[in-house]
Structure 1
Amino acid sequence: MQTLLVHGFGFPLLHKSSHQLKQIASRPICSVRKQTKISRLSKTWPTLSLSLFASGFFLGPLIDGLHSRVNLVTYQNGAIDIGPLHTNIWVPPLLGLFYCSVGLLQLVFDEKLSPDAPPPEGSADKAAASLIALVLFIELSAELYKAGVPDNIEAYILFAGAEVAWLLLDRSRVGFAFACLVGLACPLAEIPIMQLFHLWYYPQANVEFFGQGLVTWTITCYFVYTPFLINLSRWLRTLVAAANIEER
């Protein structure tokens, strides 16, 4: 192999070690692998986007309804009631967009952070466990709010619960950083929606940003939402990949 490399690339390679020559020889293979990954991602992202959007469209309002039933959120323009579910006609598409954005971003992280390794595999068990944890967490926050627990006490309880959820469901530093980003960005993203379109508001807000009231501990709800969307997106990717293999 070294002889072939010497004749193919010239005299300077004579001064390179065997380890360096092996690295040079492996570069084209890595390039092919990267192109293959990009090709796979480009072929599957439309299906994954639709699956994530549909999950948020139908599942999201049901989870969100746990908060609206205790009047944490009051809906305004476009409010609808479907039995015990209080929501807004814009909530399903907005949550579909939320699921799709966070899920696809996680899949990009999986590809970019470990370019030479296969992306983490998802499973139905992990997705189900993270969904159950999310529902229990949202229900806990709703019950504490309904019972009139002081905001600071509820925040302490929920921040501790969010840390436990991360330890049980993720434990990765990247996952923690991503959950923090989602937890901070999403409540702030609600501000222009509430101000411009008057779709909902928080009747007992305890903090104000840009003239709009928010509830501080909702950060923890978005934080716990993130491990669920990570596991959901990875499981959907596994399903799509398996379907593509069967078609071949």
Structure 2
Amino acid sequence: MNQEEKIQGSGLGEMVQNTGAFVKDGVVNSLKGLNEIENQIVTVARNSVTDALQAGGAVAGSVIEVSRDVVKGALKATEEVGYGLLMTTKNAAKGIVLGIGDVGGDVINTAGQVAQGAVKGASEVGTDVALVARRTVDGVIEAVQEVGGNVGGAATAAVNGAIEAAGSLGSAATRNVTVFLVGVVDGVKDVVSAVLPKSWSTSEANSEELSESPQSKPKVGRESVKSKEVSAPMGKPTAVS
């Protein structure tokens, strides 16, 4: 290798190294930006819930309606920007739970109502109900961990509420939501058994593997990639009716 080739090789190596550093800095800045966005969603949802519940005066009777409206607003925002369904849903749910706590509401007892409201909101907007249900439960869990409550109790209540709300949408919605939520918390099998139609057993929910299908993908284009965030076993959910 002559001197010119050595210089060219050295220059290429330096360029690759600089490119790697540039990408790293860009990713770090993007992640910082995402973290700020997530915190902002939590804050907006939290303040909205606090204001609404304080104005209404009755926490328990208003949680489902308030949660539905907050989630609907958040989901419509994701449609406008074209992505962010999973992140938005989780952080909206987290903000709702924190807002309930701010006004003295029982987070454990209202966790199921938060999930019910989220499922109803997703259905009314026309967004994937199963994904919204799963990320709502994730948001509930994260909020309860933050305030130091009974995580298992809140998660079980949220799962129960999501499946109960899905039941009003039809058997396909119930099945789809249940498969996404099986395994989220210990004891979820008992919850599933209590709310599922007798014609479809819990063992079927456990044995069925889940994968993204055209029916289960969110409407927003780029969100199909982000749906891999969902930690539940992936398989073929039936379309939500």
TM-score in same-fold range (> 0.5): no
TM-score of the pair, normalised by structure 1? 0.31
Larger relative strand fraction: 1
Q: Could you say which structure has the greater relative contact order, defined with CA pairs below 8 angstroms and 6 or more residues apart?
A: 1
